Amino acid sequence: MIKLIPVDRLLPGMYIHDLNCGWMEHNFVRNSFEVSDMATAEKVRALGTHEVYIDTDRGLDVANAPTLEEAAHEVDEQIEAIVTTSTSPVAPASLADEVARARLLHREANVIVRNMMGDIRLGKQIELERIEPLVTQIVDSIFRQQDALLPLSLLKSHDEYTFQHSVSVCTLMTSFARALALPREIIHEIAIGALLHDVGKAKVPDAILNKPAKLTDAEFDKMKSHVVQSKVILLGTPGISDIALDVAAQHHERFDGTGYPNKLKGEQISLYGQMGAIVDVYDALTSNRCYHKGRPPTEALRKLLEWSKFHFKPDLVQAFIRTIGIYPSGSLVRLESGRLAVVQEQHTDKLMQPTVKVMFHTKGHYLTPEIVDLRRSQDRIVSHESFEEWKIDPQQWLPA
């Protein structure tokens, strides 16, 4: 049986089923392992995670601890609350009109960030005048129709993750800020900070960034130093705003004070830093890396909700989920009819009923593609699915 226990109850002889934290927040060789001694238990506690999942069939039990199913039920109740408090914003532009423009913009953004990181490695200064027009286009695209650009954040290659992650965080943060009804000029600065939040990784060796195995303690510390490096680089960038600086300098801080580099707590972290932390973790959780298989978007959102008990401000996590949907655009879902579909467009007043493209049946064969607005269909979503497990190429079925 899988149970959720407070980390301070972890003892030698227990078997950890899931460390219950993001892959970038620990450097254990595996996410599941036996706690062989008290030193290992203390190392887990030092991660800053408050709860871990244990497997009582493979190790010691803890009486009265909630089961995996009971913990999941608590998250389900939070999702139900999010669904019932969703709102209907201004009607977006046509998805079809924005898709081609968004794809060109996404490719251009990745090239610009890749070149910028190369320049930083050579000791060159960031030139904001080269970044500003790109950010303006991203903000404009999100305001017109966010479901054209956001699904592209799910497409990343291992060797270009650093660049693509920066672009994804920028688009997600822009949507998040728009949903919070922040002034457009502030959204622009947030987007700049998001695009530049990981520039310090240019100072981290590629051998560490792309290592196909867990990092040593020294390598892990070097990786975490990218936050300080980002702040140093941006402080030396003429024209950078305090808002953009907060996004970059605080995106690894946690609401309970367990983050880094400064262990800021609660409202010591700016709104922009708190937003950046949520978006950065979501994008990391949904990305495939050399030794880490990305989670489906809906599963990643459930983890954010679970961790909002400690690491994030709960109402901000809930607002983020309302922004991108319970089943985000670009994600694969199973319908009650047994068909699989890729989510195309959100309806924020009906988060459980997005528009989808039906294209596969769980019996194992492709179907004639069909666009279905679930608000006007008898069919409904029953679960999220993995593209990898069904051997389906996501890029082929994104909004078009």
SS (HEC) of the chain: CEEEEEHHHCCCCCEEEECCCCHHHCCCCCCCEECCCHHHHHHHHCCCCCEEEEECCCCCCCCCCCEHHHHHHHHHHHHHHHHHCCCCCCCCCCHHHHHHHHHHHHHHHHHHHHHHHHHHHCCCCCCHHHHHHHHHHHHHHHHHHHHHHHHHHHCCCHHHHHHHHHHHHHHHHHHHHHHCCCCHHHHHHHHHHHHCCCHHHHHCCHHHHCCCCCCCHHHHHHHHCHHHHHHHHHHCCCCCCHHHHHHHHHCCCCCCCCCCCCCCCHHHCCHHHHHHHHHHHHHHHCCCCCCCCCCCHHHHHHHHHHHCCCCCCHHHHHHHHHHHCCCCCCCEEEECCCEEEEEEECCCCCCCCCEEEEEEECCCEEEEEEEEEHHHCCCCEEEEECHHHHCCCHHHHCCC
Regarding whether 292 and 190 lie in a shared domain, the answer is yes
pLDDT in tens, 318-337: 999 999 999 999 999 999 99
Regarding whether 259 and 178 lie in a shared domain, the answer is yes
Q: What is the pLDDT of residue 161?
A: 81
Regarding whether 244 and 159 lie in a shared domain, the answer is yes
76 located within any domain: no
Range of the domain at 11: 2-66
Domain final position from 307, 324, 341: 324
pLDDT in tens, 231-261: 999 999 999 999 999 999 999 999 999 999 9
Q: What is the pLDDT of residue 47?
A: 86
Q: What is the pLDDT of residue 291?
A: 63
Regarding whether 278 and 132 lie in a shared domain, the answer is yes
Number of domains in the chain: 3
Regarding whether 169 and 214 lie in a shared domain, the answer is yes
Regarding whether 23 and 149 lie in a shared domain, the answer is no
381 located within any domain: yes
Domain final position from 281, 301, 324: 324
74 located within any domain: no
Regarding whether 256 and 312 lie in a shared domain, the answer is yes
The whole-model pTM stands at: 0.92
pLDDT in tens, 63-97: 999 999 999 999 988 888 887 776 655 667 789 88
Report, as ranges of residue numbers, the positions in the chain whose pLDDT lies below 70.
23-24, 86-91, 158-159, 290-291, 400
Q: What is the pLDDT of residue 26?
A: 77
Q: What is the pLDDT of residue 14?
A: 96
